[in-house]
Amino acid sequence: MDFLTSFPQMDEDHLRALKKMIDEAFRGLTRAYGDSIEAFFNPLLHFLIFSEKMMTQTPWPIVLLVIGAIAWVASRSAKIVISTLLILLLIGYFGMWDDTMKTVSMILVCTILSIVLGIPIGVAMAKSRRTQQIINPILDVMQTMPSFVYLIPVVMLLGIGKVPGLIAVIIYAIPPIIRLTNLGIRLVDAEMLEAADAFGSSGWQKLKNVQLPLALPTIMAGINQTIMMALAMVVIASMIGVQGLGQPVLKAISNQYFTLGMFNGLAIVGVAIIFDRVSQAFGKRLQKHLEVIHG
């Protein structure tokens, strides 16, 4: 009966020895290659610092004009532009401008890196069933593992700071763009591919001229989801040194500052609304444009 009521477990001494062996191996890796790993990520740190300085040191009216222009080009909607500017003006009025710009710079860098890494991986998955079978379980783990768990190896390798936070955000946020790039390319009409073959297109030409353009609305949906997930990680990433709106929220949680937490939480929501509305409007415009081109 004892066998049925208590699950059979590894001997405690063996389990302790196994954990100790893994911990010592990881510590040995960080001691041996920690400096090389930090040097590898130095360009990323410089890119992040440059982006942050550009957002925080540029006069706020110029930032507003640039963001408003981007919103107009992407959406062609006066309503979206006006709501974007109003949200940013309210954020500035309540004294959260610098933290918001730091958060926006982090999200921009994260999104750019996610696009650069995610789209090629999604294309590789669409082109090869074997690659898809290998990468899908990795994406499942990335999406389901609690974010606090993969903060541990990142912090042990790189310490506390901007780069570990950025890597943690990317790990959490990149799966949607990979999955939706793969899906978008796989959903391209076979007749379009046959027509491209009939014109003698190479594999690269088919990808560049047919598959990626037709998959763009789906890819844009993936980018939208990546941005939303990156914003969801802002508070958690603040625990390992990422500056921005997450740090005041973390401070509010630790010290029970209700208004500080609410105001900065609402600022995060406002930034999320801006990114969401602008990217969705751009995706819809892109889809209509492609429908007109392809009849």
Specify if 168 maps to a domain.
Answer: yes
Write the burial class of residue 212 (CB in 10 Å: 0-12 exposed, 13-18 middle, 19+ buried): middle
- State the pLDDT confidence band at 177, using cuts at 50, 70 and 90: very high
Please indicate whether residue 213 or residue 266 has the higher confidence score (pLDDT): 266
Q: How far apart are CA 204 and CA 266, in angstroms?
A: 45
Q: Distance between terminal CA atoms of the chain? A: 71
What's the domain count of the chain?
Answer: 1
Contacts of 186 (CB under 8 A, 6+ apart): 126
pTM of the model: 0.83
Q: Indicate if the pLDDT at residue 59 is higher than 80.
A: yes
Q: Indicate if the pLDDT at residue 7 is higher than 70.
A: no
Which amino acid, 3?
Answer: F
Specify if 266 maps to a domain.
Answer: yes
By percentage, how much of the chain surpasses pLDDT 90? Answer: 22
105: domain CATH number is 1.10.3720.10
- State the pLDDT confidence band at 65, using cuts at 50, 70 and 90: very high
Which amino acid, 27?
Answer: R
pLDDT (mean) for 31-35 = 75
Q: How far apart are CA 89 and CA 83, in angstroms?
A: 10
Specify if 250 maps to a domain.
Answer: yes
Specify if 190 maps to a domain.
Answer: yes
Q: Indicate if the pLDDT at residue 143 is higher than 90.
A: no
Do 165 and 239 touch, CB atoms closer than 8 A? no
Tokens representing 125 are 């998955």
Tell me the residue range of the domain where 188 lies.
33-58+94-293
Specify if 20 maps to a domain.
Answer: no
Specify if 80 maps to a domain.
Answer: no
By percentage, how much of the chain surpasses pLDDT 70? Answer: 94
Tokens representing 29 are 């890796």
Specify if 76 maps to a domain.
Answer: no
Specify if 21 maps to a domain.
Answer: no
